[in-house]
A and B are shown apart, each in its own frame.
Chain A
């Protein structure tokens, strides 16, 4: 299985809502990533988990809260988002010592 899955595919939320994005991989990878991608831009790194511990936080606002319950799962909890947070949110994974990152299909988030 060489797939990274993400749910939901689409999400519309109001600025006062709380929602979560989910990511799963079964490749035995020990590094997992959250990226944000705006239209016509490259992916922008948000968080990196290595062996289920947060290793990189790219100065992301606290309204985004990542969680890694186990080596296969990665969540991104969303609260009090702003309309400018609307974007494609991508999850990726890689072997810890290998830079070959595999991306999921993304969640298209719209904040009203």
Chain B
């Protein structure tokens, strides 16, 4: 029940295209869903996060869509750029309980010029 399942494992898109990463969870107590971006040899950087009281959150080219009934959330990267090439991790946690973040397995995005 603590798992967060992330798909696909890897994705190749052309510059200007849309990148979509999906995550699913089982634990209905999760109430915080962040996305992290990690470049090789660097630490993960918090990209955008959402709480279940909203269905969508947009920051620049990055949008999180959240479907509480389906227990799914996704990251959309619009107008993908070569500089977006990185590994993306979704995560979830229960703010009211342990602060432990449960991470998805990650997705390697390659944006071709």
B99: which A residues are within 8 A, CB to CB? 31, 48, 50, 94, 96, 99
Q: Which residues of A contact B (CB under 8 A)?
A: 4, 6, 31, 40-43, 45, 48, 50, 56, 88, 90, 92, 94, 96-106, 108
Size of chain B's interface in residues, with CB distance under 8 A? 23
Q: Which residues of B contact A100 (CB under 8 A)?
A: 34, 46, 49
Give chain B's interface residues, CB within 8 Å of chain A. 32, 34, 36, 41-46, 49, 87, 89, 93, 95, 98-101, 103-106, 108
Name the distance in Å between A56's Cβ and chain B's nearest Cβ: 7
**A103 B106 Cβ-Cβ under 8 A:** no
B41 in contact with A104 (CB, 8 Å): no
Query: Do residues A42 and B34 form an inter-chain contact, with CB atoms below 8 A?
Result: no
Contact present for A90 and B44 (CB under 8 Å): yes
- With A99-B34, A103-B46, A105-B42 known, 20 other A-B pairs at CB within 8 A are A4-B43, A40-B108, A41-B105, A42-B89, A42-B104, A42-B106, A45-B101, A48-B100, A50-B99, A97-B95, A99-B95, A99-B99, A100-B46, A100-B49, A101-B34, A101-B46, A101-B101, A102-B46, A105-B43, A108-B41
